[in-house]
Amino acid sequence: MPPIRRLLTITLAAAAVAAATAGTAAAHVEVSAPDATRGGNAVLTFRVPNESATNSPTVALTVQFPALTAVDYQPIPGWKATTSTDKNGNVTAVTWTADPGVGIFPGQFGQFQVLADNLPDQDTVTFPATQTYSDGEVVTWSQPPNKNGSEPELPVPTLTLAPKHSDKAEPTGRDSTDRTARWLGGIGIGAAASALGATAGLLFRSRERARQGSRRGMN
């Protein structure tokens, strides 16, 4: 084989392997929630791919939660959802199970959503997940990042939380409004008093003129 053709063949083969490896590495259970904040509520979306080596469909998914006060799951046609709680009634896990003939097949991915209340007040939160295939294979997504920062084979779904909203109440301007109202009220009272005084003065002067006129007539 000519050197140029051999080099081209090796390059194409390496590119194919790299693409396949990248696709496999990117396909894992993930969680997302763009509006999630520390200590807040958010809709969490778990994306589940199919990585079965035997082309078996995914038929069950269990996601563990950090003891949340409430978790509402979105109904999915063909799937049943059940929740697990601790002794305090906090939700610790949700399990979705597919009906017969239903599942996430090769070349597909599924999305499972929950409304979670009172997320932890911390920068990140993890949701270990267990994926079950119809052939009995069980994959546990629970590995933390490697010490060198690289991604492990089965990374745990991790969500980064934004800083929580400020608890400081916005100024209402009530005090300044009250002061303005009182100030305007004072102006009104003062104006009324001035008007009353002016009216009384006019009435007094009118009476004095009338008296003086009467005296002149008598003289």
Q: How confident is the model over 140-187, as pLDDT tens digits?
A: 999 999 999 999 999 999 999 999 876 444 444 433 333 333 333 433
105 Cβ contact partners less than 8 Å away, ≥ 6 residues apart: 50, 55, 57
Neighbours of 130 (CB within 10 A): 17
Q: Cα–Cα distances in Å, from 50 out to 11, 57, 76, 105, 135?
A: 29, 7, 18, 6, 13
Residue 205 has pLDDT above 80, yes or no: no
Amino acid at 9: T
Q: What superfamily would CATH give domain 28-160?
A: Uncharacterised protein YcnI-like PF07987, DUF1775 (2.60.40.2230)
1 Cβ contact partners less than 8 Å away, ≥ 6 residues apart: 9
Q: Cα–Cα distances in Å, from 206 out to 5, 113, 197?
A: 123, 87, 14
Question: Taking a C-beta distance cutoff of 8 angstroms, is the pair 130, 62 a contact?
Answer: yes
Model confidence pLDDT, tens digit, residues 110-124: 999 999 999 999 999
Higher pLDDT, 76 or 4: 76
With a threshold of 0.85, does the pTM exceed it?
A: no
**What pLDDT shows up at residue 165?**
73
**What pLDDT shows up at residue 27?**
80
Domain ranges of the chain: 28-160, 181-219
**What pLDDT shows up at residue 26?**
53
Within 13 Å and on the Cβ side, how many CA atoms surround 184? 5
Q: 46 — phi, psi (to 5°)?
A: -105, 120
